[in-house]
Amino acid sequence: MINFQYLRTTTAKSAIALLVKDKNAKFLAGGTNLIDLMKRGVTAPEKLIDINHVPLKQIEQIGNKIHIGALASNSAVADHPLIKEKLPLLSWALQAGASAQLRNVATVGGNMMQRTRCGYFYDIEMPCNKRQPGTGCGAIEGFNRMHAIFGTSEQCIAVHPSDMCVALVALDAEVVLANAKGERKISFKDFHRLAGDTPQLDNNLKVDEMIIRLEIPVNNLAKNYHYLKVRDRASYAFALVSVAAALEISNNKIIDVRLAMGGVAHKPWRLTASENFLKGKEAILSNFEQAAQLAMQDAKGFGGNDFKLKLAPNTIIEALNLAKSKA
Amino acid sequence: MEKRMLKDDNDRVDGILKVTGQAKYFAEYELPGLTYGVLVTSTITKGRITALNTKDAEKAPGVIAVISHLNKPSATAYEQEGGPQMKIFYTDRIFYNGQPIAIVVANTFERATYAASLVKATYAKEEFNTDFEKALKDPKAKKLQGQADYKRGEENAYKNAEVKLEERYFLPIETHNPMELHGIIADWRPNNQLTVYAKTQGVKATQGTIANVFKIPMENIQVNSEFVGGGFGMALRTWPLEIATVMASKHIGKPVKVVITRMKMFTMVGNRPAAIQTIGLGANKDGKLTGITHRAYGETSTYENFTEGVVNMAKFMYQCDNVNTSYAIVPVDLGVPIWMRGPGEATGAFALESAIDEMAHALGMDPLDFRIKNDPETDQQKNKPFSSKNIKEAYKIGAEKIGWNNRKNEPGSLVEGPWQTGYGVSVGVFNANRGKASVKGTLKADGSLLLQSATSDIGPGTGTGMTLIANRLMKIPVNKITFELGDSSLPPAPSQGGSATLSTVGSAVNDVCVALKSAIAELAANSNMDATANFVDVLKKNNLPQIEITKESQGGKEKDNYSMYSFSIHFVQVKVHSLTGVVKVSKIVSVGDSGTIVSPKTARSQMLGGAVGGIGMALTEESIIDHRYGRYINNNFADYHVPVNADVPEIDVNFINKPDPYINPMGAKGMGEIALIGFSAAVANAVFNATGKRIRTLPITPDKILA
């Protein structure tokens, strides 16, 4: 086998210290994606730093924010009473992802860090700019049914596969990152990147940094919400398109609204223009339809994924319908 | 082994073993000195290996040997002229991407895996084509006749019919993907003695193939395959990777185990070939069929031809005086296909049963009425009566259970919010066969019966069915009956395929039991005992610990006099989301017409599995290739979608359960294939009924609904 060093640590500080020592080191949490990538030869870290014993599993409310530790498991978050009560959109999105077995071991931080599921990325015999910059993109003129319609580049049209992240971007989450010198906080929407000319980079986490926790403001969006994931089978499949929708409605008027999409871009895709359009308007179908059209302004298909140009607005409309009609 | 924990007589005899992990599958055997093999595969699609650098691999830790065409260990048949083109390790030619080109053997699986990654091949590449549709359009590309053309009455009569249609149907490659990965353990010992632990649908077939390739006597080879974790047809032959493993064991003189990865399951063990079919149907305005034309093209490899019964059903399923069929195969640069559950008939039924539905719609008829109106009394192809056929009764049962009267003939009539509801029906049919098999029966003075035959169980519950046949004949409790299989030293039986095991081996069980009974009766008479005396008393009185009888059994002339088929009717209700294009199968009623149901529980399980496989064929399964590279894109369980629990509604299984008077002593016909055949058309027909959209390309994914 390809040998690697396995290290285990129990504090974030020591984990970061180990990480900076070796640029070929990677953190190992649930390993549900990383181990696959190692088996397929996509990545070959020289050191795996097992951080599962670092105490970052908290799920708690501090002030008006809910804090979720980076090592809380997907199922622990999805099933936590605080999340179900105050951030049910997040709970639903998590439950739409993977399978129960995977959710039990996959962590919040790992979910954010998972790589694309593009088939060209996984097959080391085929070109992929994300895996090996400069080799070309197999998907642009190849099989691109699962691929992006927003924010694509000539280098890469891969999508970020997470469901959880779609809800988090909609919920205005923030991410706390740490390096040896201290912590910084960034908006969740700025965590992931577009492919641009650097498709090898999925996000803005620096090489010496570790994800510590999420902070999510409590909101009034826990009543009318829906996470609608359209996929090829009813469970355990990545999204063709998914929509996180949440509404705050008063007298059928939209006070606040959040919309984000998955399966359409290199990062979870927040629909700001649609939200701005809907704010203050009536929660009626014609407005939902207009909002959906607004969301599609810069969309571009690549052949195999052209159907998303129709599926995406339809899914936005249906997610808003379902969010609105939730009792 | 403790396996006698049955709650009732119909339980699976090996159910407890399977759910408690005691059932031992091939990969679980640990032999002393076991080594591990990993196959190196080609990364080009067509050409030649010009150089193979194995030095780094040979030097890697734990590596025992690297075997390739450079050091081809002796396999006598491969050294002779003729034989298969793709002789593993005997050719430098590359026929497809993912072809095994070397095997690395090491003392651990991980070390073999790593060393395999160090083998570097240099190739002379040639132009290739893996695109079946492209080959079909290319006038220069080879097309080979796959089955003799068939004609009854006038050719293409549909073209002159009062009502006519001609449509084209496309089925992509499907990959069997049983849960259990493929592989083998081979232990070649001095004096050309070989033991293998295999995953096979036929221990005798595996034994025969290995004997042939290595030219050693059959009796030198012991094949064990007691439990198989799903086959669906892919274990009906001995694959090159298995020959490679035997070669490796012979070469190093140690047992070698190979278990391939899920990725390699897409390239090394076959698939259901893609098919393009055209159906022409003609009918008069009263709804009688006047012409059926079924033309099919199936995919095959360049190095070996594969054919299946794609156009069989069109020849006899419906009453029609003018029928013609043709079937050609088209070679592409991919691995050779193999039968996959319901083989060609499932492919053909998708097209024919979709077209029948389309014709009913064109006529403004209920598709069920249309089928009943054209249901034949006799087999017009063979010009013989059916041995048994209860299709009309099956239609009636299924229609009632699904609530067919809720269906509206006008598509798109049942709407509830964004969801559209539709109903569909389809027929499945498959040859009811009876082959030749031998069973040894040992009746013991302790009151037990041991039955032995070199048959297989890839999951349907062979042992359970055989035990029940013996139980009913011998009046011996099931917990006193043992049926042994999956061992090549037992009396011979054919491979488990084509839905024939229960009929074939069951008949031999029947014959052995009958013989044992008369032997006991004779013994009783000779020892002045009552003719009805219990066999235990008879054996004891005669001081016999046991009696043994081996019987070979096969059918007779009945096959010449009757047309024998198993039938199934699949009814489905679907819900289609008009905005997202998602199709949910919301209700399933399957009715099997396959003679006597010998083993009710395992028979029902077969039908459940067929329906689940049918959902996959209809809605989710497709092996996708990037034709620029000739490589599979979705070769894993995350991206190749077999149905999950959430896709499967409750399945209502029904059987006609009337004995076929001719086929065999049990009156039982096979049902492994009919459980699946036709199902995908029922779904496509229901989707049409729900939406008015006719999808002729499987699988019916959301994008096709939205298109």
pLDDT in tens, B351-377: 999 999 999 999 999 999 999 999 999
> What tens digit of pLDDT does each residue of B514-538 get?
999 999 999 999 999 998 899 999 9
Calculate mean pLDDT across residues B200-229. 97
What's the rounded Cα separation, in Å, for the pair A235 and B584?
12
Q: Which residue of B has its CA nearest to A146?
A: B639
β-pairing, B289-301 with B323-332? Answer: parallel
> Counting runs of H as helices and runs of E as strands, what totals does chain B give?
17, 28
Which chain A residues are within 8 Å of B644, Cβ to Cβ? 233-236
Give Cα separations from B470 to A226, B352, B496 (angstroms).
Answer: 57, 40, 20
- Domain stops at, among A21, A37, A52: A52
Q: What is the pLDDT of residue B84?
A: 75
Report residue B82's pLDDT band, with 50, 70 and 90 as the boundaries.
Answer: confident
CATH architecture under which domain B435-554 falls: 2-Layer Sandwich (3.30)
A160, part of any domain: no
Q: Which domain holds residue A242?
A: 224-325
What's the rounded Cα separation, in Å, for the pair B61 and B75?
28
CA–CA min distance B149, chain A (Å): 37
Best of A37, A232, A238, A261 to substitute, by most chain B Cβ atoms within 10 angstroms, is A232
Number of neighbouring beta carbons within 10 Å of residue B275: 26
Q: Is B522 a catalytic residue?
A: no
Q: What is the pLDDT of residue B6?
A: 60
pLDDT > 50? residue B1: no
What's the CATH superfamily of B31-126+180-229+235-266? Aldehyde oxidase/xanthine dehydrogenase, a/b hammerhead (3.90.1170.50)
What's the rounded Cα separation, in Å, for the pair B318 and B379?
9
Q: Which residue of B has its CA nearest to A38?
A: B114
A150, part of any domain: no
pLDDT > 70? residue B438: yes
Residues of chain A with pLDDT under 50: none
pLDDT > 90? residue B2: no
CA–CA min distance B301, chain A (Å): 22
Per the listing, tokens 């060209």 go with: A120
Of A233, A246, A156, whose CA–CA distance to A194 is shortest? A156
Single out the catalytic residue among B174, B180, B621, B673: B673
Q: Do B644 and A307 touch (CB under 8 A)?
A: no
> Could you give the number of structural domains in chain A?
2
Q: Do B418 and A119 touch (CB under 8 A)?
A: no
A163, part of any domain: no
Q: Do B641 and A123 touch (CB under 8 A)?
A: no
> What tens digit of pLDDT does each residue of B549-600 get?
999 999 999 999 999 999 999 999 999 999 999 999 999 999 999 999 999 9
Instruction: Cite the residue boundaries of each domain of chain B with CATH code 3.90.1170.50.
Output: 31-126+180-229+235-266
A203, part of any domain: no
Q: What is the pLDDT of residue A1?
A: 65
CA–CA min distance A198, chain B (Å): 24
The secondary element (H helix, E strand) that includes residue A153 is none
Q: Do A232 and B701 touch (CB under 8 A)?
A: yes
The chain-wide mean pLDDT, for chain B, equals: 96
A247, part of any domain: yes
Which chain B residues are within 8 Å of A235, Cβ to Cβ? 644-647
A117, part of any domain: no
Secondary structure string (H, E, C) spanning B155-204:
CCHHHHCCEEEEEEEEECCECCCCCCCCEEEEEEEHHHEEEEEECCCCHH
Adjacent-strand bridge partners of B227 = B25
- The answer, yes or no, to whether the previous bond of B699 is cis (omega within 30 of 0) is yes
Q: Do B580 and A123 touch (CB under 8 A)?
A: no
CA–CA min distance A111, chain B (Å): 16
**Cβ-proximal residues to B155 (8 Å cutoff; 6+ apart), any chain:** B293, B322, B324
Q: Check if the interface score ipTM surpasses 0.95.
A: yes
Q: Do B628 and A142 touch (CB under 8 A)?
A: yes
Encoding tokens for residue B521? 């009766």
CATH label of the domain that carries residue A264:
3.30.390.50
Which chain A residues are within 8 Å of B639, Cβ to Cβ? 117, 119
Number of neighbouring beta carbons within 10 Å of residue B606: 25
CA–CA min distance B629, chain A (Å): 8
Instruction: Cite the residue boundaries of each domain of chain B with CATH code 3.30.365.10.
Output: 275-433+560-706, 435-554
Q: Does domain B275-433+560-706 have CATH number 3.10.580.20?
A: no
Q: Which residue of B has its CA nearest to A318?
A: B579
Task: Look at residue B374 and give its three-state secondary structure.
Answer: coil
Enumerate chain B positions whose Cβ falls within 8 A of a Cβ in A: 43, 110-111, 113-114, 117, 418, 577, 579-582, 584, 619-620, 624, 626, 628-629, 631, 633-634, 636, 638-639, 641, 643-647, 701-703, 706-707
B680-703 b/e (C-beta count within 10 Å ≥ 16 → b):
bbbbbbbbbbbbebebbebbbbbb
Of B325, B273, B291, whose CA–CA distance to B136 is shortest? B273
Enumerate chain A positions whose Cβ falls within 8 A of a Cβ in B: 1-2, 41, 117, 119-120, 122-123, 125-126, 138, 141-143, 145, 228, 230, 232-238, 240, 307, 310-311, 314-315, 317-318, 321
Q: What is the pLDDT of residue B265?
A: 98
A71, part of any domain: no
CA–CA min distance B633, chain A (Å): 5
Report residue B80's pLDDT band, with 50, 70 and 90 as the boundaries.
Answer: confident
Q: What are phi and psi of B562, to 5 degrees?
A: -130, 150
CATH label of the domain that carries residue A34:
3.30.43.10
B14-24 b/e (C-beta count within 10 Å ≥ 16 → b):
bbbbeeeeebe
**Cβ-proximal residues to A126 (8 Å cutoff; 6+ apart), any chain:** A119, A120, A138, B626, B629, B631
Which chain A residues are within 8 Å of B110, Cβ to Cβ? 1
Q: What is the pLDDT of residue B4?
A: 53
Give Cα separations from B510 to B438, B462, B484, B531, B566 (angstroms).
Answer: 11, 14, 15, 20, 21
A15, part of any domain: yes
Encoding tokens for residue B91? 């050719």
